[in-house]
Amino acid sequence: MARMADIIRQKLENTLSPTHLEIIDESEKHRGHAGYRDGGESHFHVIVKSDAFSGKNRVARQRMVMHALAEELKGPIHALSMETKTPEE
């Protein structure tokens, strides 16, 4: 089974063609909190720079990311925080 970070990377690359993409598993910071699982892969922070965000506000950009990861957000991903920017930002 693929690691969740690899799935996130593939989906965001396919839908947003980012010029920069960082995926950080922050699950360990949430040990003992809701949604935490042994082995991690439940809480992520992504930094995405993409031309696809041009002309869109922060909420629209975040919706684009959430739409790309809709299936994963239904289950394996408990929490997702993000920074969404254009390549110029």
Domains of the chain are: 4-85 (3.30.300.90)
What per-residue confidence (pLDDT) applies to 24? 94
CA distance 52 to 29: 31
Where is 15: in which H helix or E strand? Answer: helix 4-16
pLDDT digits (tens, 9 = 90+) for 34-81: 655 565 677 899 999 999 999 999 999 999 999 999 999 998 888 899
30-62 burial: b if 16+ Cβ within 10 Å, else e: beeeeebeeebbbbbebebbbebbeeeeeeebb
What per-residue confidence (pLDDT) applies to 43? 83
- Flag whether pLDDT at 2 surpasses 80: no
**Residue 70, amino acid:** A
pLDDT digits (tens, 9 = 90+) for 15-40: 999 999 999 988 766 566 665 556 56
